[in-house]
């Protein structure tokens, strides 16, 4: 058995591997860059080795530095995690030459499946259904446009060595094909050091469903069910679940058998994933094979009870799988939500900074019979760096059926506290409440179709608004009651706490009175409706549990000046609780308008300017590319919203800009 594992990765996956290794009594070694000196995976490991500067190209993906760390610590095995060197055949070969166990598949499988062009040819040869496309290399944008026209739009432009949504674009016309080819090529080169591109047909009404495979070195290969990964944005998975609400048993079996056939064709062992695109008629087409552990592996673990990292370690040690295909059972339902450092209110652009608050919900079995799991690599007070993937955590829920798992996820998201950076918690909460998601009518276009103008929060309906008004009134009442007990808060007269208030936010305005009743507090609305509220919330608590008319609501509570900010289920409101007279006068106040920034191009996120496409005095048209900003390994092209003339270029390539710094100024 392996004695010491070096994890050639960072973040939550490194922490995940360390947990299983410790459970198995195996020592662990972490590697870290300058930016990760105080990272969680460094603290968790038995040993840690510094391997270079913050950029991954100078640290985590430099094979020689990993080999030096192995030699220094005496590790006899390496777990590559996912990303970085996990699918690098040269790395696996270097480990083999050094006599170090690679906890992953054989080199031949990595080479064959890591190259998407080769993998498609092998898949077709193994009898696996494949998507129509051009498997040869494409030299330039003109050739890309020609090939795309032959296949028929829409097409998917993909990096051959890509993964994780990097180097991937969808084109619906010639202009998008030309631009997408160049962007994919640039992204692929910076992320993988390989700018080869191929094009294939983009399947309409597509679902992204993948099969988890697991094999040993003795010829046994199993499939462990599927994962539905259709909720995506920019080709990056956001929410995954197991099993899929769409597959029937026959399709599941057929996909599983084809996945196993492909794995067998390349002599695969260890954990791996075969990804398929499935259309509305349950026709499925091979997409790619990831020869590594996947980000979304926890949902498979939750429904099968199999620790995939443990199995990878045992397989790498030469052990036979203790399971047969008939032993694999799918029990219940699991959901995974990826918590990203991306601001949903700014088109999901990356956000960096310090986690001033990070309080995940309690893990393990819950009173409701559900299970909560949170895989993370961060901690309160830690820094979110611009150099790496923006993932903060992977929150998972398990329930006896899909509806139970979704409800458990919704509650867990409500109780998850993250402050200091922009993050997508409100968006994830909104999806959990979305009727289309709850009904299982998913496609990879879900986000684009349901949030075409981006995410601006969820507007409460009348029922939700009354609940939030009642909570705001109780919060205000307790704040007022505390203020009365503190001398000097208001001088010269005795402070009396009223019972009649007007709560206003957005389009809602509720006249209410707060009354004490036998089972707690009642909030009575001016139309006679009353809601009973019971809560242990006290001033200063950022998360409050409120039982409103028998429903437990976990709401995040903040004070924003004189207003009460409440966040719940993707809703984010600023409630002003005023006395009736003050509320009457407030209606007469003029509304303050935001500053006019229509003549400025502002940096939408912290990042590096990699290109300015226009100069001073130049006329620009609506939709024209103006500048390119790169952050967290993603390239973002900024375009003109309308016709205009550039009067000032305030930034140049190579500049690091903060959010809302000026790039261009227009006439």
CA–CA gap between residue 639 and residue 623 (Å, rounded)? 5
CA–CA gap between residue 611 and residue 515 (Å, rounded)? 62
CA–CA gap between residue 91 and residue 80 (Å, rounded)? 10
> What pairs with residue 207 in β-bridges?
278
Give the distance, in angstroms, between the CA of residue 103 and the centroid of all CA atoms in the same chain. 26
Structure tokens at 122: 């092998």
Place of tokens 């195996």: 26
Instruction: State the DSSP H helix or E strand holding residue 394, giving kind and residue range, or none if neither.
Output: strand 391-399
CA angle (216, 220, 223) in 5-degree steps: 95
Classify 308 as helix, strand or coil: helix
For residues 665 and 646, the answer to whether their CB atoms sit within 8 Å is yes
Three-state DSSP string of 482-496: HHHCCCCCCCCCCCC
The torsion defined by the Cα of 377, 89, 3 and 40, in degrees rounded to 10, comes to -10
Q: Which stretches within 74-224 are classed as H helix? A: 89-98, 107-114, 116-125, 141-151, 174-192
Total H helices, total E strands in the chain: 17, 40
CA–CA gap between residue 501 and residue 650 (Å, rounded)? 49
From the list 635, 553, 488, the residue with the least C-alpha distance to 191 is 635
Q: Where are the beta strands (DSSP E) in 268-363?
A: 270-278, 284-290, 333-340, 342-343, 349-350, 353-354, 357-359
From the list 303, 297, 277, the residue with the least C-alpha distance to 213 is 297
CA–CA gap between residue 265 and residue 438 (Å, rounded)? 38
Place of tokens 């083999």: 96
Burial label for 569, CB within 10 Å (0-12, 13-18, 19+), is buried
CA–CA gap between residue 276 and residue 326 (Å, rounded)? 23
Burial label for 359, CB within 10 Å (0-12, 13-18, 19+), is middle
CA distances from 233 to 224, 237, 445, 573 (A): 26, 7, 8, 26
Residue 338: phi and psi, rounded to 5, are: -90, 115
288 is catalytic: yes
Place of tokens 């030299």: 139
Considering the candidates 288, 411, 630, 635, report the single residue annotated as catalytic.
288
Instruction: State the DSSP H helix or E strand holding residue 310, giving kind and residue range, or none if neither.
Output: helix 308-316
Residues in the chain: 667
Residues 6+ apart with CB under 8 A from 80: 8, 9, 86, 87, 88, 91, 102, 103, 104, 292
Structure tokens at 480: 């007022």
Enumerate the active-site residues: 288
């Amino acid at each position: 058995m392996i004695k010491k594992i070096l994890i050639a990765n960072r973040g939550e996956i490194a922490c995940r591997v360390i947990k299983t290794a410790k459970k198995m009594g195996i020592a662990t070694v972490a590697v870290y860059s300058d930016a990760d000196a105080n990272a969680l995976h460094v603290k968790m490991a038995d040993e840690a080795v510094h391997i270079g500067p913050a950029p991954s190209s100078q640290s985590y993906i430099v094979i020689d530095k990993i080999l030096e760390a192995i030699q220094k610590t005496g590790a006899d095995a390496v777990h590559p995690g996912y990303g970085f060197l996990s699918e690098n055949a040269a790395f696996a070969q270097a480990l083999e030459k050094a006599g170090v166990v690679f906890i992953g598949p054989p080199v031949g499988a990595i080479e064959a499946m890591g190259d998407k062009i080769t993998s498609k040819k092998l898949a077709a040869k193994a009898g696996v259904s494949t998507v129509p496309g051009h498997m040869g290399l494409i030299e330039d944008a003109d050739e890309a446009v020609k090939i795309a026209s032959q296949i028929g739009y829409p097409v998917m432009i993909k990096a051959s060595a890509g993964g994780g949504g990097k180097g991937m674009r969808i084109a619906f016309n010639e202009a998008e094909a030309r631009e997408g080819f160049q962007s994919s090529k640039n992204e692929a080169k910076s992320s993988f050091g390989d700018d080869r591109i191929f094009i294939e047909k983009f399947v309409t009404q597509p679902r992204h469903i993948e099969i988890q495979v697991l094999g040993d070195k003795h010829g046994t290969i199993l499939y462990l069910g599927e994962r539905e990964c259709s909720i995506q944005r920019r080709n990056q998975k956001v929410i995954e679940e197991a099993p899929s609400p769409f597959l029937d048993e026959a399709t599941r079996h057929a996909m599983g058998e084809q996945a196993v056939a492909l794995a067998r064709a390349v002599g695969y062992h260890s954990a791996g994933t075969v990804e398929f695109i499935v259309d509305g008629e349950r026709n499925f087409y091979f997409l790619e094979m990831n020869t590594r552990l996947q980000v979304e592996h926890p949902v498979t673990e939750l429904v099968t009870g199999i620790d995939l990292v443990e199995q990878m370690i045992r397989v790498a040690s030469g052990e036979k799988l203790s399971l047969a295909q008939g032993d694999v059972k799918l029990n219940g339902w699991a959901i995974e939500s990826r918590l990203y450092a991306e601001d949903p209110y700014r088109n999901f652009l990356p956000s960096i900074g310090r986690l001033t608050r990070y309080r995940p919900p309690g893990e393990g079995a819950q009173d409701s019979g559900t299970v909560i799991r949170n895989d993370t690599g961060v901690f309160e007070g830690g820094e979110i760096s611009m150099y790496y993937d923006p993932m903060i955590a992977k929150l998972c829920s398990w329930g006896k059926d899909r509806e139970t798992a979704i409800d458990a996820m919704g509650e867990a998201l409500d109780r998850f506290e993250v402050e200091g950076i922009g993050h997508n918690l409100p968006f994830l909460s909104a999806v959990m409440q979305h009727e289309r998601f709850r009904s299982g009518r998913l496609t990879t276009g879900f986000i684009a179709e349901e949030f075409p103008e981006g995410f601006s929060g969820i507007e409460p309906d009348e029922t939700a608004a009354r609940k939030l008004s009642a909570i705001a009134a109780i919060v205000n009442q307790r704040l007022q009651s505390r203020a009365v007990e503190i001398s000097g808060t208001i001088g010269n007269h005795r402070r009396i706490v009223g019972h009649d208030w007007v709560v206003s936010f957005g389009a809602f305005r509720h006249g209410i009175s707060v009354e004490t009743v036998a089972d707690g507090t009642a909030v009575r609305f001016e139309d006679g409706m009353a809601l009973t509220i019971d809560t242990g919330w006290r001033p200063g608590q950022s998360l409050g549990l409120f039982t409103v008319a028998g429903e437990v609501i976990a709401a995040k509570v903040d004070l924003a000046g004189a207003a009460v900010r409440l966040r719940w289920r993707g809703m984010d409101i600023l409630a002003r609780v005023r006395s009736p007279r003050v509320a009457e006068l407030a209606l007469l106040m003029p509304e303050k308008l935001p500053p006019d920034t229509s003549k400025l191009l502002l940096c939408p996120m912290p990042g590096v300017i990699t290109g300015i496409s226009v100069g001073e005095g130049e006329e620009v048209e609506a939709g024209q590319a103006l500048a390119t900003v790169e952050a967290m390994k993603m390239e973002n092209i900024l375009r003109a919203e309308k016709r205009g003339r550039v009067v000032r270029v305030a930034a140049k390539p190579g500049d690091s800009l903060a959010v809302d710094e000026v790039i261009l100024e227009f006439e």
